[in-house]
Chains A and B, each alone.
Chain A
Amino acid sequence: MHDSRLTSSPAATQVITADHEEPNPALLHHFADPQQQKNAASLGMWLFLVTEIMFFGGMFCAYLIYRIEYFNAFAAGSQQLNIWMGAINTAVLIVSSVTVVLAVKAAEAGKRKLLVGYLVVTVLLGMTFLVIKGFEYKEKFEKHHVPGPNFNFTDTFDDNGKQIPVDSKQAELFFSIYFAMTGMHALHMIIGCGLFGTLAVLAWKGHYTPAYFTPIENGGLYWHLVDIIWIYLFPLLYLISRHS
């Protein structure tokens, strides 16, 4: 059976001393103290975010190259996107980032109900984003801008009043990239909503105290990154060439 001697970590050999007198119930056995555990979790989350940056980065690379090669088609496609929905979605995400930060503050202050409130509002804002996105996609479908056998792009690139016709295949490429990037982003939003919903339930049950709210912080980091990705997607996809 498990030998308790094997789990001891003598305080004499610790360099980092814990601030808390009583053992933190969330402290895992292989860490020396809660601060080490928190720092480890935080670094781990940041490294995961770097993988997300590189993951989306591949698509940004594809976007960048094709935008340069097929500028007219990209501009024409961009002009067909609904700038209002894009801008409102950007605003929705920004507000949701604020609620995330305030949720972390509430957790830090031990205000459980406020924490749950902010988490729930964050999820609702995330869902708002997804609903608006859904309407956007529906619009694309109706205008036959979804790549595939039903794709049909007859619009032109409005370049300061001059109507430049564009190659249909190139326009289809724009929409391929549009759907790939916004689709992957939406998938991450769905995961984020699920994550924050779970955090809200656990917070309601009292899992998070001022001594331990690391999942709220790290979940927040994830949400902020998804926001940052959209901050770049909005101008790159919706604002390629709007002056006419």
Chain B
Amino acid sequence: MAEHKDQAADQEHGTHSQFFYIGIGVVLLVLTVTTAAVAFVNLGPLNPVVALSIATFKAALVVLFFMHVKGASEKLTGVVVVSGFFFLSILLILSLADYLTRAWR
């Protein structure tokens, strides 16, 4: 599990070993099976919550480790990622604020 050393100034990678990445991949696959299996269990209103939480966790793994956001020397990358999802959530939440509060539903 040797850390890969490189003389170039790309320490922003925080590059991990190949086994680490394969390990993350295995975790993602396990989570995929999990989310599919849990879908067959009746959790009532929690079903979508669990499904989205697992999806978000998987996405976070990809962003942090595969896309090298964790350990990046530039904090700006993280700000850019977060702001993208933040403004998407604005679109979703404020649109829902309309649809969910219509008196005539």
Binding site for B on A (CB under 8 A): 19-20, 35, 38-39, 42-43, 46-47, 49-50, 53-54, 57-58, 60-61, 64-65, 68-69, 83, 87, 90-91, 94-95, 97-98, 100-102, 105, 108-109, 160, 210-211, 220-221, 224, 227-228, 231-232, 234-236, 239-243
Contact present for B92 and A60 (CB under 8 Å): yes
For B, the interface residue count at a CB cutoff of 8 angstroms equals 53
- Mask of B40-70 contacts with A, CB within 8 angstroms, 1/0: 1111000110011011001100110111000
Q: Which residues does chain A contribute within 8 Å of B41, judged by CB atoms?
A: 243
Query: Which of the listed residues A61, A90, A211, A231 has the most CB atoms from chain B within 10 Å of its own CB?
Result: A231
Contact present for A98 and B59 (CB under 8 Å): no
Query: Which of the listed residues A39, A101, A224 has the most CB atoms from chain B within 10 Å of its own CB?
Result: A101
Q: Take A65-B99, A235-B39, A239-B36 as given contacts and tell me if A108 and B77 are in contact as well, using a CB distance cutoff of 8 Å.
A: no
Binding site for A on B (CB under 8 A): 4, 6-10, 13, 15, 18, 21-22, 24-25, 28-29, 32-33, 35-36, 39-43, 47-48, 51-52, 54-55, 58-59, 62-63, 65-67, 74, 76-77, 80-81, 83-85, 87-88, 91-92, 95-96, 99-100
Contact present for B88 and A57 (CB under 8 Å): yes
Contact present for A50 and B84 (CB under 8 Å): yes
Q: Which residues does chain A contribute within 8 Å of B67, judged by CB atoms?
A: 220-221, 224
Bound: A46/B74 CA distance, A: 12
CB distance from A69 to the nearest CB of B (A): 7
Q: Take A91-B29, A241-B47 as given contacts and tell me if A47 and B80 are in contact as well, using a CB distance cutoff of 8 Å.
A: yes
Q: Which residues does chain B contribute within 8 Å of A235, judged by CB atoms?
A: 35, 39, 51-52, 54-55
Bound: A60/B66 CA distance, A: 24
> 10 smallest A-B Cβ distances: which pairs?
A50-B84, A98-B25, A235-B51, A239-B39, A243-B42, A242-B39, A57-B88, A53-B84, A94-B28, A101-B21
CB distance from B73 to the nearest CB of A (A): 9
